[in-house]
Amino acid sequence: MQLFILAILCGCSSKVLAESTITVVWPARPPFQYVENGVAKGVRLERAKQVFSLARLPVELIEEPAKRIWANFAAGKKNYCSFDWYKLPEREQIVQFSVAFEKTPPYSVLTNQIAEARVTTHKNLRSLMADPELTLGSLDSVSYGRELESMIFYSRNKQLRMNVLPRIMARMIGANRASYMLIDKREWEFMKIGDSYISNTRILDLEGVPEGLDSFIVCSKDVSTSIMTKLNAAIVKVSSN
């Protein structure tokens, strides 16, 4: 009888533990978070691990495509968090935002040898986006922040917007499928190594590029206030180190 009761208690404990584990998903974005030879790595992934560990929150870390992540949030998936996201009104309707997790740098312009001569005639981003002879390549799976999204929407460039990884779009720039794209310079420096399609591209810094934005950890609405408080305190502590 005692063994039976112990088995029930152990089963309940396991169930409670499983239910309290938070699924933390992240979109691949080398060199910040990515999988290489079956091993998840990257400076931002390590930062997220540190935050959740410091908050003493049990997690399961999983790589998922950006569109699937937001589809799951919209569907009300429980005990579900993600990191590396800008704050947008439509997102605030379906998730909770932490305090700022990280400050991102301003974007740079990535172009190719063919388009470079025309791209460099423009001294600022607004002028570049007003050129109808150029094609802007952008990622449908991410947000560039409200200000840049507005500039992209009203741009007079031809538009190539696709749901692909940054590396694929950078290769398209190298192959002159588009004239330029916006990219974090650190991504380009990492991706060009050993990739002939990207290594022959050119990186430029133009005036008028909006300042970098705060990125956040986001969690489903069911995640408790106490958990969000622990998470925020851990972020503040990690940021102060």
Give residue-wise pLDDT tens across range 125-149: 999 999 999 999 999 878 899 999 9
Average pLDDT of the residues of the chain = 91
CA proximity to 51, closest of 81, 10, 85: 81
Cα end-to-end distance, the chain, whole Å: 53
Q: Give the pLDDT band (50/70/90) at residue 30.
A: very high
Across 216-236, average pLDDT: 97
Distance from C-alpha of 126 to C-alpha of 26, rounded to nearest angstrom = 32
Alpha carbon distance 218, 21 (integer Å):
16
Confidence of residue 20 (pLDDT cuts 50, 70, 90): confident
Say if residues 49 and 24 touch (Cβ distance below 8 Å). no
Q: In DSSP terms, which residues pair with 81 in a beta bridge?
A: 24, 219
Instruction: Looking at the structure, tell me whether residues 134 and 180 fall in a common domain.
Output: yes
* 162 φ/ψ angles, rounded to the nearest 5 degrees: -135, 155
Q: In terms of domains, do 77 and 112 share one?
A: no
Same domain, 78 and 144: no
Give the containing element (helix H, strand E) for 148. helix 146-153
In a domain? residue 7 = no
Same domain, 197 and 217: no
Structural domains of the chain, count? 2
Whether residue 224 is contained in a domain is answered as yes
Percent of the chain with pLDDT over 70: 92
pTM attached to this predicted model: 0.84
Residue type, 168: I
Residue 112 DSSP label: -
Q: What is the pLDDT of residue 217?
A: 98
Q: Which domain holds residue 79?
A: 20-104+213-240
Please check whether residues 115 and 84 belong to one and the same domain.
no
Rounded to the nearest 5°, which phi and psi values hold at 184? -70, 125
pLDDT tier at 11 (50, 70, 90 boundaries)? very low
